[in-house]
């Protein structure tokens, strides 16, 4: 894989109509500086700002991948993103004269050809990767969808589709070398669908720009001559419509013997680009689509955020500890005798945190609570939960060193069992809500898997200077 960031040498354009909107659109790729990423900008909307093509800006996946900000949307971005990711381009601005890129022939190849004409420029900055070091799994039991990412020395994909239609059936493909294989073996794979699906979409004006020139249409039911005439009118064709011997409308020849599964792979590459940088790992996909792809990217983004935090705070510590006491002291403002979290053992940014507090007889509060019968004050158990929650909150905002967490309320506080010297508190806090600096969390403190205390906590995050 390339080691430095990459952009294009010059601006280059292409034109066509959008698959779903049917609107004519001119798309122009422009060079962009280091760290810019992939951004789309609508020229048909005055004063519109560029929309970064990242997972946080995905607003819909019902028909392709749609990104948006401030009520401005860009439809069906996956083929453009696949072309950029396949060519390992990191930084580019894409200007559009409409809301949807041209569908062209239904593949990524037209965009590849435009980008190749623009030329490539290596930039003086390292490329960022997400290195997969543990298995990540997305599973949908109801739909039989599986997406698994496992450690690998390079980016790889193995994809399987399984349809009841005999023209498709079960198909597999693998990509093991992006530079060597993508342009030659995957970029030209066109979008595909079933005839019954196309009719429904056409009748409901959901693919106004769709036709047999930009998609491979598989016939999934019996069609008589009268219906063929209706299809001719539906697709606004001048020539006759036939059902090919290969089960494809008008008998269009496939570009690859397993073109449908290669197009699924292309879509996956485009959706993975929403991570904002490439991964080093092997993606195994079965019966997936845009919705599942996007959920996997969300999981990968959380893994990236976790790794980013670990790099920032952990330093040198054991593999089973995310943050040790020294790292926690860099995150939280608390100090002896009020720092009540010894280590963080699990962290999912924006979701949950798990910490540990070892309770010893040397704790200063045992001198008076109670002499001869030492019990950790319940309020300090809740404080320990709050501090663990503080780690979670402060690592969900920018510049955590300059922030403080102030708790504003406690609800449903329960003390189930005394905590005594020798106990090890396991502190589990889950984030229910966090917006505009206000949050709500649920926490449980356990000893030997038994809940000893729990509470619902509300808090605000404020700048230290404003405090």
What pLDDT digit, counting tens, does each position of 123-173 carry? Answer: 999 999 999 999 999 999 999 999 999 999 999 999 999 988 777 889 999
Distance CA 444, CA 430 (A): 9
pLDDT at 428: 95
Token code pair at residue 389: 């929650």
Examine the pLDDT at 381 and tell me if it is beyond 80: yes
Token code pair at residue 84: 């950029």
Residue that has been written with the tokens 């990968």 in this structure: 300
Query: Which residues are part of the catalytic machinery?
Result: 290, 369
pLDDT at 69: 95
More confident site: 214 or 92: 92
Alpha helices (runs of H) in 8-95, residue ranges in sequence order: 78-86
Q: For residue 83, which of 53, 51, 58, 55 has the smallest C-alpha distance?
A: 53
pLDDT at 350: 82
Beta bridge partners of 445: 427, 453
pLDDT at 395: 66
Instruction: Write down the pTM of the prediction.
Output: 0.79
pLDDT at 398: 67
Structural domains in the chain, sorted by start: 4-189+259-308 (3.30.230.20), 314-463 (3.10.129.10)
Contact criterion met (CB below 8 Å) for 399 and 462: no
Distance CA 256, CA 81 (A): 21
B/e letters for 176-197, b = 16+ CB within 10 Å, e = fewer, are: eebeebbbebbbbbbbbbbbee
pLDDT at 98: 97
């Amino acid at each position: 894989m390339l080691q430095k960031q990459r952009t294009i040498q010059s601006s280059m354009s292409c034109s066509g109509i959008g698959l779903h909107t049917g609107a004519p659109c001119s798309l122009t790729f422009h060079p962009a500086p280091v760290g810019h990423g992939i951004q789309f900008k609508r020229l048909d909307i005055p004063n519109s700002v560029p929309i970064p093509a990242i997972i946080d800006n995905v607003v819909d996946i019902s028909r392709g991948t749609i990104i948006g900000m401030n009520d401005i949307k860009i439809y069906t971005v996956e083929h453009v993103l696949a072309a950029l990711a396949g060519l390992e381009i990191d930084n580019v601005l894409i200007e559009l004269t409409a809301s949807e890129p041209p569908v062209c022939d239904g593949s990524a190849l037209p965009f590849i050809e435009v980008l190749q004409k623009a030329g490539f420029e290596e930039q003086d900055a390292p490329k960022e990767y997400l290195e997969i070091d543990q298995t990540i799994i997305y599973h949908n039991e109801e739909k039989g969808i599986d997406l698994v990412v496992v450690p690998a020395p390079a980016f790889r994909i193995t994809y399987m589709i399984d349809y009841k239609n005999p023209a498709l059936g079960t198909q597999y493909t693998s990509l093991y070398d992006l530079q060597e294989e993508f342009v030659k073996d995957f970029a030209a794979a066109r979008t595909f669908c079933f005839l019954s699906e196309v009719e429904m979409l056409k009748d409901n004006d959901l693919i106004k720009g769709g036709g047999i020139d930009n998609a491979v249409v598989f016939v999934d039911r019996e069609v008589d001559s009268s219906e063929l005439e209706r299809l001719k009118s539906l697709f606004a064709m001048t020539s006759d419509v036939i059902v090919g011997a290969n089960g494809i409308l008008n008998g269009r020849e496939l570009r690859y013997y397993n073109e449908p599964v290669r197009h699924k792979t292309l879509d996956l590459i485009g959706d993975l680009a929403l991570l904002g940088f490439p991964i080093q790992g092997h993606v195994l996909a079965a019966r997936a689509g845009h919705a599942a792809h996007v959920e996997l990217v969300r999981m990968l983004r959380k893994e990236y955020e976790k790794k980013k935090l670990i790099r920032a705070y952990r330093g040198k510590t054991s593999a089973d500890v995310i943050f040790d006491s020294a790292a926690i002291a860099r995150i939280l403002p608390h100090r002896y005798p009020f720092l009540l979290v010894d280590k963080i053992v699990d962290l999912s940014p924006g979701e949950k945190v798990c910490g540990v507090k070892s309770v010893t007889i040397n704790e200063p509060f045992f001198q008076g609570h109670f002499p001869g019968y030492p019990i950790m004050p319940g309020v300090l158990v809740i404080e320990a939960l709050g501090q663990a929650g503080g780690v979670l909150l402060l690592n969900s905002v920018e510049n955590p060193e300059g922030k403080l967490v102030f708790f504003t309320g406690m609800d449903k506080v329960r003390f189930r069992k005394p905590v005594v010297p020798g106990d090890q508190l396991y502190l589990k806090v889950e984030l229910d809500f966090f917006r505009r600096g206000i949050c709500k969390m649920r926490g449980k403190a356990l000893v030997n898997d038994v809940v000893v205390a729990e509470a619902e906590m509300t808090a605000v995050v404020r700048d230290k200077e404003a405090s």
